[in-house]
C-alpha cells in the first residue's frame, strides 16, 4: 500500500514503538495520523513531531479493552478524515512484578485484555470499516516472546503468542475483505515499557543477561518493519521477527 495521503490509527502512540511508528507514517506521507492511548499527556508529546513530519495529528484517549472506545475512536477518525486505511494495534503491557505464578489476578486480566483482547477488538472493528472504504492494512505488535518463552513473563508470552497466531488466521482477509493483517515481533527494545518489567521502574533482573549480550533495538527499527509490512502488497498473515544484534565481544 502506498502510504502517501492515507489515514492511520496507532494505539499505544504515547511513547516507544507507537510514537516511532506514528512519526514514521507521517514521514512516509500519511495525510492524517490518529494517536490513541490512555495517557493523554503522552499523546500531547507525540503530536508535535508527527505534525512536524507533515501529517495532521489527532489525539484520542482510547482504552483498547473496551469495544465502545474502539467504536468511538473509529468514528472520530472517520469524522475527521473521512476514512481509515491503516491500523497499528500496538498498545501493550508487560507483567511487571510479582512474576508468574505469583502475578495478581488483576494483572492477568489486564494483560489479556490489553495485549490480546485489544488486538482482537481493533482488528474486528477495523476490518469492518476498512472493507466499506475499499480495504486497508493492519499491523499488530507481538513480541519474540511469542515463540521464545520467558517463564517469569508466562502471561505476557501467552498473550503475544495469541496475537501471532491470530494474525496468521487473518491471512485470508486480504482476499475476502481487502484488508491485509500482519504482525511484528520485536526483540528487546529500548522503550519505557522495558523499564516497567522489574520493580520501581527498573528493568527486570532476568533480562539483564540478555541486555548485556544483545544490542537493544531502537523503536525506530520496529517502526521501519511496520512501514515495510504496510507497503508490501504481498504480505498477509505474516509474522515478522525484528531481532537484536549481538554486542561486540
Contact status, residue 102 vs residue 151, Cβ threshold 8 Å: no
How is the chain classified by DSSP, letter by letter?
---TT-EEEEETTTSHHHHHHHHHHHHTT-SEEEEEES-HHHHHHHHHHHHHTT-EEEEEE--TT-HHHHHHHHHHHHHHHS---EEEE-------SSPTTS--HHHHHHHIIIIIIHHHHHHHHHHHHHHHTT-EEEEEE--GGGTS--GGGHHHHHHHHHHHHHHHHTTTHHHHTSEEEEEEEE-SB-SGGGGGSSSTT---GGGHHHHHHBPPBPHHHHHHHHHHHHH-TT-SS-EEEEPPPBPP-
Catalytic residue among 99, 156, 206, 211: 156
Query: Is-catalytic flag, 211?
Result: no
Cα–Cα dist 186/167, whole Å? 15
The residues annotated as belonging to the active site are: 156
Amino acid at each position: 500500500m502506498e502510504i502517501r495521503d492515507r489515514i492511520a490509527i496507532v494505539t499505544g502512540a504515547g511513547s516507544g514503538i507507537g510514537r516511532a511508528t506514528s512519526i514514521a507514517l507521517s514521514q512516509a506521507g500519511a495525510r492524517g495520523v490518529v494517536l490513541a492511548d490512555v495517557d493523554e499527556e503522552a499523546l500531547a508529546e507525540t503530536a508535535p513531531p508527527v505534525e512536524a513530519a507533515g501529517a495532521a495529528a489527532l489525539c484520542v484517549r482510547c482504552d483498547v479493552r473496551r469495544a465502545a472506545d474502539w467504536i468511538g475512536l473509529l468514528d472520530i477518525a472517520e469524522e475527521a478524515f473521512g476514512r481509515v486505511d491503516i491500523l497499528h494495534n500496538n498498545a501493550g503491557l508487560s507483567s511487571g512484578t510479582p512474576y508468574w505464578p505469583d502475578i495478581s489476578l488483576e494483572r492477568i486480566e489486564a494483560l489479556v485484555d490489553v495485549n490480546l483482547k485489544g488486538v482482537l477488538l481493533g482488528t474486528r472493528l477495523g476490518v469492518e470499516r476498512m472493507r466499506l472504504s475499499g480495504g486497508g492494512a493492519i499491523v499488530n505488535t507481538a513480541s519474540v516472546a511469542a515463540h521464545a518463552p520467558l517463564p517469569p513473563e508466562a502471561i505476557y508470552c501467552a498473550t503475544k503468542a495469541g496475537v501471532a497466531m491470530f494474525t496468521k488466521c487473518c491471512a485470508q482477509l486480504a482476499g475476502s475483505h481487502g484488508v491485509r493483517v500482519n504482525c511484528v515481533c520485536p526483540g528487546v527494545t529500548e522503550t519505557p515499557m522495558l523499564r516497567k518489567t522489574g520493580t520501581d521502574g527498573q528493568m527486570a533482573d532476568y533480562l539483564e543477561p540478555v541486555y548485556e549480550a544483545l544490542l537493544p533495538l531502537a523503536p525506530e527499527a520496529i517502526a521501519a518493519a511496520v512501514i515495510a509490512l504496510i507497503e508490501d502488497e504481498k504480505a498477509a498473515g505474516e509474522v515478522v521477527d525484528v531481532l537484536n544484534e549481538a554486542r561486540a565481544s
